[in-house]
Amino acid sequence: MTIAALPEHNSIANPLWLKLFHGYRHVIAPLRHNGWPTDIEIDGGENRIRADLGDGTELIIASVHALPLDPNEVTGWSVLRLDIEDEARHTVLYDSTPDGAQSRHRNSLIPLFARIDGLDAPKPTNRLIVSATYTSPSGVKDYQAADSETPGAAVARYFEWSQLLVAAEGYQHVWEQPEADGYPLARFERDGHITTVRVTRSDD
């Protein structure tokens, strides 16, 4: 498994940084699984995600303005690709905020990472699959979300599927595998039904 290391700086003990880094894990983790060191900037209230692509450029991810403290308040994603040496040289990569070119996608992760994964930037070549097992009193059903994907796209799909289970289907998130133990894996429960969502290598 390839995943970029966690940030190391003085802000990691800052309660605001910790709140944002955990709250936006569904965006940060896919970027890190692409091998890109990723951090939250909180200077001057301009909360935003910054990912180093390893080729002299970086991604800056925010919303209409700065990222809100509550990720549920995000109405869309704004993504810039900047030249690290000259931030005046930048490209608007994606904009799903209400007035943006991709506004129809709002805060969905899957189209966001489809665009990001199309970048010509260093990233792992392994392919991953997202799947789920639904267990109920009537039996067990297995589902696979899509064909194999890049690590970033697959981990984004894992988070979006997990969010759908909680927000739309009434499940409770009861357990998640620690990051150091392998690819994302989580268990959800609802009235005697258990669903497990996982990310695995396509050749497993």
What is the pLDDT at residue 10?
83
**pLDDT-derived band of residue 2, with 50, 70 and 90 as boundaries?**
confident
What's the average model confidence in pLDDT over 151-176?
A: 97
What is the pLDDT at residue 87?
75
What is the pLDDT at residue 12?
86
pLDDT digits (tens, 9 = 90+) for 69-92: 999 999 999 999 999 988 778 899
C-alpha 192/C-alpha 138 separation (Å) is 11
- Quote the distance between the C-alpha of residue 79 and its chain's center: 13
CATH number for domain 128-201, candidates 3.40.1350, 1.10.3470, 3.40.1840, 1.10.287: 3.40.1840
What's the average model confidence in pLDDT over 58-68?
A: 96
pLDDT at 204 over 70: no
Average pLDDT, rounded, for the chain: 94
* Residue 42: strand, helix, or coil: coil
What's the average model confidence in pLDDT over 167-179?
A: 97
| Opening angle at CA 90, ends 87 and 95, nearest 5 | 125
- What's the pTM value of the predicted model, to 2 decimals? 0.94
**pLDDT-derived band of residue 174, with 50, 70 and 90 as boundaries?**
very high
Q: What is the residue extent of each domain of the chain?
A: 10-117, 128-201
If you ran DSSP here, which 8-state letter would residue 7 be given? P
What is the pLDDT at residue 203?
80
C-alpha 72/C-alpha 202 separation (Å) is 32
What's the average model confidence in pLDDT over 13-26?
A: 95
C-alpha 107/C-alpha 7 separation (Å) is 25
What's the average model confidence in pLDDT over 108-126?
A: 94
